[in-house]
Chains A and B, each alone.
Chain A
């Protein structure tokens, strides 16, 4: 149950990462800020899902082997994925200017999506020497989580668009 919850969260987070990368590429091509907002909200959704997934994975490890962290290849890959995407949000906070922020964030997102398969491969090879990876099917669990992810992304996208509109109005007001 918990193992398949982990699996479903990771798969949904992967979809979110793919959406974020696609939105980032579209932003760089069109310079339309809707895509930037989409990339941001998809990345946030993915990070929340993967954080939940890591917790579920750790608990299922504890239930199985009695250890919180068993260096299971898939949970470890999820953790590296989390560390890969967390700086995306930190970078956005560090840049004030909207276009510069969106372009820089898009670059990070594109780098990250190319890195994900290599990381998964490397962590698997590295940890395969200690324990064989266990395969669990996500099963039906992926459906509710994907819906949850899509809903969360939608809400964050709306929020982000409103915040952007408000910022634009504020700038206009300041100019006057």
Chain B
């Protein structure tokens, strides 16, 4: 119980700080809408082929926009040496990590939920066809994005090139999760059921979340303290 309260305290603090300054979420949202618009120039949005690539397009947007938010996750604590204070605080490193994870999760999810209807309108896609399942894939994919993003945000926070290093490190690791999310999203958005073959992708996405949450929790003390 005490542990959960510590996690919640960090998460609420982060979300509150972000909602007051809006430094990451505004940039992230503007960026997401910008890419959605830019993609419409690469192919004719009215074509049927558009639906085939819709899942891929959406997750590229989410991954790019999410990185902007995740970059700030630990970098936000650098001024006034707040990060040192957080590490010295009487809470386990894993609680700090999970708190930051949940905060980023909420923020990235918010950006996604705003981009989804915009995507539906711009590209004429009936994304509401299988809403509960789509929401489930969104949650799983976003958790993969945030758990990897947060741990590497902590790893790169003291590096001069951190804005460059974070995507370099996270995208190759995220590739299986993104592939699974893209495939499942394409199916759900185009109104197809998830057949037996594609259940494997769902299992992989869940497995990815479980494995990398565990690895991150095991290594978080090393990442924070060095």
Contacts and interface: CB of A to CB of B under 8 A. Distances in A.
Given A87-B168, A104-B223, A125-B200, A110 B180 contact: no
Interface residues of B, number: 28
Interface string B17-37: 000000000000000000000
A112 B155 CA distance: 14
Contacts of B193: none
Contact of B215 (A90, A94, A114, A126): A114
A135 to B, nearest CB: 20
A106 B226 CA distance: 10
Contact of A100 (B201, B212, B219, B226): B226
B173 A103 contact: no
A110 B211 CA distance: 12
B79 interface: no
A91 interface: yes
Given A103-B226, A104-B155, A114 B168 contact: no
Interface in A67-109: 80, 83-84, 87, 90-91, 94-95, 99-100, 103-104, 106-108
Main secondary structure of the interface of A (DSSP, over half): helix
Interface residues on A, range: 20 to 34
Interface in B166-192: 168-169, 172-173, 175-176, 179-180, 183
A104 B154 CA distance: 10
Q: Which of B159, B169, B222 has the most CB of A within 10 A?
A: B169
Contact of B219 (A94, A95, A107, A119): A107
A72 B69 CA distance: 35
B160 interface: yes
A55 B110 CA distance: 43
Main secondary structure of the interface of B (DSSP, over half): helix
A94 B159 contact: yes
Contact of A107 (B155, B165, B211, B212): B155
A28 B211 CA distance: 20
B207 interface: yes
A108 B208 contact: no
Q: Which of B156, B173, B204, B223 has the most CB of A within 10 A?
A: B173
Contacts of B207: 118
A170 B42 CA distance: 55
A57 B176 CA distance: 22
B161 interface: yes
A146 B156 CA distance: 34
Nearest to B169: A87
A84 to B, nearest CB: 4
B173 to A, nearest CB: 5
Nearest to A93: B161
Nearest to A128: B197
A80 B207 CA distance: 19
Given A83-B172, A100-B158, A121-B204, 14 more contacts: A84-B172, A91-B165, A95-B158, A99-B226, A100-B226, A103-B223, A103-B226, A107-B219, A110-B215, A111-B173, A115-B173, A118-B204, A122-B204, A125-B201
Interface of B: 155-156, 158-161, 165, 168-169, 172-173, 175-176, 179-180, 183, 200-201, 204, 207-208, 211-212, 215, 219, 222-223, 226
Complex A-B, nearest 5 residue pairs according to Cβ-Cβ distance, in ascending order: A122-B176, A84-B172, A118-B176, A87-B168, A83-B172
Interface of A: 28, 80, 83-84, 87, 90-91, 94-95, 99-100, 103-104, 106-108, 110-112, 114-115, 118-119, 121-123, 125-126
